[in-house]
Structure 1
Amino acid sequence: MSKTKMALRGTTFAVTLGAFAMPATAEIDEINWAVPISFASSLTALGDTLPWVAERLEAVSGGKINLQVVEPGAMIPALAVFESAATGQIDAGYSWMGYERGQVPAAALFGATPFGLEPHGYVAWMYEGEGDALLKETFEPFNVYPILCGTIPPEAAGWFKFPIESVDQLSGLNMRAAGVGGEIMKEVGMSVTVLPGGELYQALETGVLDATEFSLPTVDDQLGFYQVADYYHLPGWHQPSTSQFLYVNMDVWNDLSAQTQAVIETTCMAGTVYAMARGEALQGPVLSSFEEKGVEAIQLPDEVLQEFRDATEVVMERESENDAQFAKVYDSMKAFQAANKPWHELGYLPRDWTWDKEASE
């Protein structure tokens, strides 16, 4: 083949590729959204997920999709993301799902379900089970299109000024908590208050709160709770996984091209993996560092966990009776968890198993 023919063929091939590539690129909409978030972007493994997603969206869209991350309180109140997206005050926002449970009771289950699915199981239910379809169904009446965009490992059970050694200590205890977990704490006699993260240190320090739960060790460390409480209780029975969502106003979402929608949803899926990996990787060293700061990290006694589990059954039954969508979502979660129980019990090493190295020598 002559050099001329080879050059012509190369040119034809390039033009053909361009014919396929250019229309696809052209279908990505120009987006410039100011996106308020509920947690400061400086909070490691909690508030830094959406900034990462925003960077990736700009890169994969060739600069067409721009999300300007707006810190809590700068544009709207930190806990007003859902309402603001629903009314069209904002195009989109990013928050933990559950602050809106007064209007959308089932929302709290997507944010965190007590004694429920852990991160890998939750993501499996969302992407391979009924989760995402039920999510969209739950929020459609409120003119919001929600996208899972970050899941992190369990939160701690909370920071306390004294060790919890028995169920009797729970009655009357004034604690910050949110979501269904807060309702369960009320069921065992605790007094529960919902406050944003930025207000918790002072509330603990001044005695407004006896205890608080908030997030992962990396986040709690940054907020300085170890300076005002000496006992860090685990596990996070109330939030075995914690999930955040991109809330997009439905009218705004429907105006986007299918390709733009796909780019956003796929990048949020990547953000979920990023959050899971980052959240899991960073906690061990931070948890170990608390001992040097005079904090005792300890597990809740079995009788206390049993009390919370008993109360969970009562609360979940009551919530399910009061709201059909709550019942539908919770039943789906429980069915998925039960179906996968044999695999989780047999497929993974038991958590209390250790290698007896001396016995093998």
Structure 2
Amino acid sequence: MNKNSMLGAAFAGAIAVSTATGASAQSYDLQSTFGLHVPSIGKSPVHWAERVSESTGGNIEINVHGAGDFVPPFEVFEAVSIGAIPMGFDWMGYWSEKIPVANLIGSMPFGPTPDIALAWMFQGGGLEIIQKAYDPYNVKVLPCHLVVPEAGGWFNKEINTVDDFKGLNMRIAGLGGKALAKLGANTQLVPAGEVYVSLETGRIDATEFSAPQLDVGFGFQKIVKNYYFPGWHQPSSWDTVIINMDVWNGFSEADQQAMENSCKANIMDNLADQVQSQAAALDTIRAAGVTVRRFPDDVLKAIKQASVEVLEDESRKDPIFAEAYQSLTDYMESVGHWETLQRMPN
């Protein structure tokens, strides 16, 4: 089956689901790029859909489907773009080949912490810049889940010097992957549901995925015994609801506002859940015999230099990426002065 046939089948499947459930014209299907069983990000679109239903008085019902229910995870964006599926839920960086700026917002190495990322997105002009990149694809983007700083990754060996990255086969997404490639790693993007098997079979030697809460749910601690911090590649990252623009424009202004506000509430609840869940997850990881480590400072300095080169290279390739990068770095510098004044001694 070719891609067009697959997307056509997805559309037919979505219609069949709506018909089978007796859904009204106000019922919409959403497919996530993640399994719905995954901690935090798996449940996030479900909670958002519940909020939308409640805040619209039941006027909008969203049927949330997991990865692969209609199309493979990495085809959700295209399916939403052409209207085969009305809505999707994703990690922004998955669409970087089409939308380069999504890579920056999904995973800016040595980028903003969640509080600064949140402020820039909604008060610093970030969302307006990003939407310009989605418009040509007929997609409305709603930032809907903000991920706390991730772990630096799981490795089948110690990382003592930057040379230890040479020849390492690592699953790492986004711009961080390009930075490590500069240091000699063989980087690749593996769908979430395939990471464990890829580690177990030796297809990859290392992986990053998320913060401890999510990582422990995938069971990486059972097969890899070196867990590194900090998550330099994603100090924060965004997951979004994406909506076909024709579908979005069909909603009333009040319903659009309800969906946007439901995303903001979703962000707050998920941040609180993530922060309180990491310590217990780390205890589980250590109990499995994993050594939790920090990358040596010299290694982090080398990675940062490679990351700056990548960010500058990408800025030269795409004007919206460049605009967002300049805006975000200026914002980080501006609020950084205030944060420095407020910093407490150890």
In the alignment, what sits opposite 2:341?
346
SS of corresponding position for 1:162: coil
Q: Which amino acid aligns with 1:64?
A: N
Q: Which amino acid aligns with 2:95?
A: E
In the alignment, what sits opposite 2:20?
none
Amino-acid identity (%): 36
In the alignment, what sits opposite 1:10?
none
In the alignment, what sits opposite 1:229?
224
Scaled by the length of structure 2, the TM-score of the pair is 0.91
Unaligned runs of 5+ in 2: 1-23
Contact 1:49 1:274 in 2 (8 A): no
Q: Give distance in 1, aligned partners of 2:344 and 2:29.
A: 45
Please, which of 300, 304, 317 is the counterpart of residue 305 of structure 1? Answer: 300
For residues 168-188 of structure 1, what are the alpha-carbon distances to aligned partners after superposition, in whole Å with 9 as ceiling and x for unaligned?
Answer: 101111000111111111111
In the alignment, what sits opposite 1:131?
126
Contact 1:42 1:48 in 2 (8 A): yes
Q: Give distance in 2, aligned partners of 1:231 and 1:204.
A: 13
Q: Give distance in 2, aligned partners of 1:48 and 1:109.
A: 24
| Larger Rg over CA atoms | 1
Q: Give distance in 1, aligned partners of 2:344 and 2:52.
A: 38
Aligned residues: 323
Where does 1:1-361 land on structure 2 (aligned, <5 Å)? 31-350=26-345, 353=346
Q: Give distance in 1, aligned partners of 2:157 and 2:133.
A: 40
Q: Give distance in 2, aligned partners of 1:76 and 1:307.
A: 39
For residues 76-123 of structure 1, what are the alpha-carbon distances to aligned partners after superposition, in whole Å with 9 as ceiling and x for unaligned?
Answer: 111222111111111110000011111111111121211011111100
Q: Give distance in 2, aligned partners of 1:88 and 1:138.
A: 18
SS of corresponding position for 2:154: strand
In the alignment, what sits opposite 1:26?
none
Contact 2:163 2:183 in 1 (8 A): no
Unaligned runs of 5+ in 1: 1-28, 354-361
Scaled by the length of structure 1, the TM-score of the pair is 0.87
Q: Give distance in 1, aligned partners of 2:89 and 2:154.
A: 26
Q: Which amino acid aligns with 1:253?
A: W
Following superposition, the deviation at residue 30 of structure 1 comes to 5.8
CA RMSD, 1 decimal: 1.2
Q: Which amino acid aligns with 2:304?
A: R
Contact 1:153 1:242 in 2 (8 A): yes
SS of corresponding position for 2:93: coil
Q: Which moved more, 1:273-282 or 1:119-128?
A: 273-282
Q: Give distance in 1, aligned partners of 2:149 and 2:74.
A: 21
Compared with structure 1, are the counterparts of its residues 65 and 349 closer, same or farther at alpha carbon in structure 2 (3 Å cutoff)? farther
For residues 178-203 of structure 1, what are the alpha-carbon distances to aligned partners after superposition, in whole Å with 9 as ceiling and x for unaligned?
Answer: 11111111111110111111111111
SS of corresponding position for 1:253: helix
Q: Which amino acid aligns with 2:149?
A: P
Q: Give distance in 1, aligned partners of 2:251 and 2:150.
A: 35
Contact 1:119 1:153 in 2 (8 A): yes
Contact 1:41 1:47 in 2 (8 A): yes
Q: Which amino acid aligns with 1:296?
A: T
Following superposition, the deviation at residue 266 of structure 1 comes to 0.7
Following superposition, the deviation at residue 326 of structure 1 comes to 0.8
Runs of 4+ that moved beyond 2 A = none
Q: Give distance in 2, aligned partners of 1:62 and 1:317.
A: 47
Contact 1:152 1:280 in 2 (8 A): no
In the alignment, what sits opposite 1:17?
none
